[in-house]
Amino acid sequence: MKKISPLLYLPLLAVLTSSIFISKVTFAEDEFTVAVSPDIDITVEQFPAKGKHLVLWLAPEYGLREGHRSLARLLTQQDIEVWQANIVESLFLPQGTGSLKKLNGKYVADLIQYAHKTTGKKIIVLGDSYASLSALRGAHQWQQR
């Protein structure tokens, strides 16, 4: 069996290392929690903007990824504030479609209520993949209040 020189791995290592340092990582401007009950807090990542609209963006079954945060930054450039929430993670439930399907919309309705009350902005509820179920359920519950 032919041995491979460790020097052959140097170019690969250099590319991987440089991609880590060059990559553009986007973080939220602020993070806060919303108490939806006496013992449950939902963590919200906030991308503030001065416009009249706020997007409440619910994380899909496997959480928020870099693309979600990058798009949130682009929306703030259009004066649209973005709040991203991973309810499943805040409730310490397993990540996956099953956990999102079990949510009845109460926590989303609570987040909508809090966002509207504290900002006075028009709220747009957004959820991709199975988070859209939570978005619809929560919006419906909020309308019923």
Using CA atoms, how far apart are residues 75 and 100, in angstroms rounded to an integer?
25
Could you tell me if residue 40 is inside a domain? yes
* Backbone phi, psi, residue 38, to 5°: -60, -25
Is residue 110 assigned to a domain? yes
- For 26-54, the pLDDT digits (tens) are 556 799 999 999 999 999 999 999 999 99
Domain-embedded: residue 16:
no
Q: Which domain holds residue 79?
A: 27-144
6, part of any domain: no
pLDDT at 93 over 90: yes
Question: Domain with 76 in it: what CATH number?
Answer: 3.40.50.1820
Residue 8 lies in a domain: no
Look at residue 77 and tell me whether its pLDDT is greater than 90.
yes
pLDDT attached to residue 23 = 46
Percent of the chain with pLDDT over 70: 81
Could you tell me if residue 59 is inside a domain? Answer: yes
CA-based nearest residue to 137, from 113, 110, 115, 104: 104
Into how many domains does the chain fold?
Answer: 1
C-alpha closest to that of 59 among 30, 88, 80: 88
18 within domain boundaries:
no
